[in-house]
Amino acid sequence: MKTKTLKDFDVKGKRVIVRVDFNVPHKGETITDDNRIMAALPTINWLTERGAKVILLSHLGKIKTEEDKVKNDMAVVAKRLAEVQAAPVVFVPETRGEALEAAVAAMEDGSIVLMQNTRYEPGETKNDPELGAYWASLGDLFIEDAFGSVHRAHASTVGIPTHLPHGAGFLVEKELEVLGGALENPKRPFVAILGGAKVSDKIGVIENLLKTADKVLIGGGMAYTFAAAEGGKIGTSLLEADKEELAKEFIEKGAGKLYLPVDTVVANDFDNPGDIHTVKSGEIPDGYMGLDIGDGTIEAFKKALEGAKTVFWNGPMGVFEKPEFAKGTIEICKALAELDDATTIIGGGDSASAAKNLGYAEKFSHISTGGGASLEFMEGKSLPGVAVLEEE
Ligand code: AMP
């Protein structure tokens, strides 16, 4: 079965459970970035405008202790949600029981019930079958709109839809369309740019993209494990010694496709860099560490990107949080933003924040809302929260 989407359902008067991503950064009563709430509004508004009874479920933060519960009370989201859309919102500070059931039973068409943080229930992350069945009993239909959570087999992502008719909300529909398009039928040349700290986090994605992309550009901290694998000197740069063999394999398999940095910006001290200069890759002096790609690499990567028709980018090119080592990430971000007639996709996480902070967000075709989920998707893995939507 193909995944159904919102528009495949007649929702009037129906109780529609929507798994949203309201995992927003917050300090006490203040939400510091409400992007995720705003991003969920198209689905929520579409449903309320058509007379659905909308029951919203999301996790917020990690819950291990009672203190975590106090810190991650969904009440903070309820307040903001009521401010940014027109439908009445009832917040139920419980995850099961009479108060929740009564609130749902009392819902008018076009209204919203927001449930307490799904992770208040220990069974949520274990996909406890009883919990999934219980939450499903509150609704007639399930809509998945939390792309950032679909790589997790939890009660709210996988448990509920096994009991109810189900489909994708607008956010998940767009993610599947864009990421799926890049993997299955990319306009070529298709160039992938991977950075960030660790090779170990990106093994699957490098492996799969070496098969599907025309070029794979590697920067960031993980490039030094590749340099070491080639017998280069990397000083005190980030190294995953146990991944050197794998890096060698990638270099062999990726011959002609894999682009590694040709130079690197080094410094003598991470926290207090006094001496910053650029050296060739594999020639980092003792006591120095590589913290950004150099100008030669920026030029080489820009050249490799010329004419690209599809680009997938995940992970910064250096320690971009520090202005001294942000140039590589900024220049690559600019080069992508300026590509003509290309589908440019950012796979969430740090590269997404970089594009937003630099003011380039609008220039990209798609910025994924799920860092971990988009990486797993690009690895070609089946994501449990997506797979379940494809089932009858
Ligand atoms: P990731 O979450 O794997 O995408 O990694 C992002 C992190 O990698 C950022 O916090 C960067 O500061 C860090 N990073 C990028 N390049 C380097 C580098 N050369 N050395 C150490 N950390 C780096």
167-190 confidence digits (pLDDT tens): 999 999 999 999 999 999 999 999
Domain assignment present for residue 388? The answer is: no
How distant is the alpha carbon of residue 3 from its chain centre?
20
- Enumerate residues 6+ apart whose C-beta is below 8 A from 65: none
- Residue recorded with tokens 């490039």: 223
15 is catalytic: no
Q: Are residues 161 and 57 in the same domain?
A: yes
39-96 confidence digits (pLDDT tens): 999 999 999 999 999 999 999 999 999 999 999 999 999 999 999 999 999 999 999 9
Q: From the candidates 36, 53, 119, 215, which is the catalytic residue? A: 36
372 is catalytic: yes
Q: Are residues 128 and 196 in the same domain?
A: no
Q: Are residues 132 and 222 in the same domain?
A: no
Is the CB of 371 inside a 6 Å radius of any atom of ligand 1?
no
**Structural domain count, the chain:** 2
Domain assignment present for residue 312? The answer is: yes
- pLDDT higher than threshold 70 for residue 223: yes
Atom 17 (ligand 1) nearest CA: 221
Q: Are residues 51 and 136 in the same domain?
A: yes
Q: Are residues 221 and 267 in the same domain?
A: yes
At 340, the pLDDT band (50, 70, 90 cuts) reads very high
Domain assignment present for residue 215? The answer is: yes
The answer to whether the beta carbons of residues 27 and 64 sit under 8 Å apart is no
At 163, the pLDDT band (50, 70, 90 cuts) reads very high
- Residues 61-74, buried b or exposed e (16+ Cβ, 10 A)? bebeeeeebebbbb
Instruction: Pull the structure tokens for residue 361.
Output: 């967000």
Cα distance between residue 102 and residue 28, in whole Å: 29
Please state, in angstroms and as integers, the Cα–Cα distance from residue 226 to each residue in 164, 204, 238, 244, 265, following that order. 47, 16, 11, 7, 16
Q: Are residues 304 and 357 in the same domain?
A: yes
Domain assignment present for residue 270? The answer is: yes
Q: Are residues 194 and 312 in the same domain?
A: yes
Among residues 338, 316, 337, 313, the alpha carbon closest in space to that of 325 is found at 316
Is the CB of 316 inside a 6 Å radius of any atom of ligand 1?
yes
Cα distance between residue 252 and residue 234, in whole Å: 20
Is the CB of 219 inside a 6 Å radius of any atom of ligand 1?
no
Cα distance between residue 336 and residue 227, in whole Å: 25
Q: Are residues 369 and 226 in the same domain?
A: yes
Q: Are residues 116 and 198 in the same domain?
A: no
- Enumerate residues 6+ apart whose C-beta is below 8 A from 308: 189, 190, 191, 215, 339, 342
- Residue recorded with tokens 């220990």: 122
Atom 18 (ligand 1) nearest CA: 221
Ligand 1: nearest atom to the Cα of 351: 4
Mutate to test the pocket of ligand 1, among 319, 330, 333, 346 (most ligand atoms within 8 A of CB): 319
Q: What is the mean pLDDT of the chain?
A: 96
pLDDT at 391: 85
Calculate how far, in angstroms, residue 82's C-alpha sits from the geometric centre of ligand 1.
37
Average pLDDT over every residue of 234-253:
97
- pLDDT higher than threshold 90 for residue 273: no
Calculate how far, in angstroms, residue 175's C-alpha sits from the geometric centre of ligand 1.
25
Mark residue 33 as left, alpha or beta (left: phi above 0; alpha: psi -120 to 50; beta: remaining). beta
Domain assignment present for residue 22? The answer is: yes
Q: Are residues 104 and 59 in the same domain?
A: yes
Domain assignment present for residue 383? The answer is: no
Q: Are residues 113 and 244 in the same domain?
A: no
Last residue of one domain, picked from the residues 131, 149, 173? 173
Mutate to test the pocket of ligand 1, among 203, 238, 268, 269 (most ligand atoms within 8 A of CB): 238
Atom 15 (ligand 1) nearest CA: 318
Domain assignment present for residue 168? The answer is: yes
Report the CATH number at residue 304.
3.40.50.1260
pLDDT at 358: 86
Among residues 355, 350, 342, the alpha carbon closest in space to that of 375 is found at 350
| Domain residue limits at 334 | 186-378
Last residue of one domain, picked from the residues 134, 152, 173? 173
Query: Residue type for 60, please?
Result: L
Q: Are residues 156 and 257 in the same domain?
A: no
pLDDT at 1: 59
Domain assignment present for residue 390? The answer is: no
Three-state DSSP class for residue 197: coil
Last residue of one domain, picked from the residues 173, 204, 234? 173
Ligand 1: nearest atom to the Cα of 223: 19
Atom 10 (ligand 1) nearest CA: 319
Is the preceding peptide bond at 189 cis, omega within 30 degrees of 0? yes
Cα distance between residue 391 and residue 252, in whole Å: 39
